[in-house]
Amino acid sequence: MSAIEKVNDLITKAGVFYLATVDGDKPKNRPLGFHLLEGDKIYFGVGTYKDVYKQMQANPNVEISAWDGEHILRYYGQANLDKNEEIVEKAFELMPDIAEAYKANGWEMGIFYLENATAEIRNMFEIEESYTFEY
């Protein structure tokens, strides 16, 4: 299993994971559920109309954290706000209720992945595995 597959697997096992952004000089954190491993990147999605998207535009430094019951994931780097319509369509296929709401309201899904990123998989006391992704 590759490093990015291990990160994706932990996020999948966790079910809900958390995205931290910077809002001015204050941290903001929120739960997310959508992620998609495609090639060597994990893609995430949020509405472009939401503050979270605007925060990433202003300051792309973000962190994703998750707990799968055994391990803690810290996955941090810069959000690359990718206008990848293929990923949007795959997201909508996986989440038809979300797709319906977005289409009914004229919302746009903002897709991003982390670049220049580090993933740390930890137990409660120490880092067990650490990976760097430089795309």
CATH number of the structural domain spanning residue 10 = 2.30.110.10
Confidence tier at 135 by pLDDT (50, 70, 90): confident
Q: Is 54 domain-assigned? A: yes
Strand partners, 41: 38
72-101 burial: b if 16+ Cβ within 10 Å, else e: bbbbbbbbbbbebeebbebbbeebeebbee
pTM confidence score: 0.94
Which H or E element spans position 94? Answer: helix 85-94
Three-class DSSP category at 47: strand
Confidence tier at 47 by pLDDT (50, 70, 90): very high
Confidence tier at 83 by pLDDT (50, 70, 90): confident
Q: Is 32 domain-assigned? A: yes
What is the pLDDT, as a whole number, of residue 82? 87
What is the pLDDT, as a whole number, of residue 12? 97
Q: Domain range for residue 59?
A: 3-130
What is the pLDDT, as a whole number, of residue 51? 97
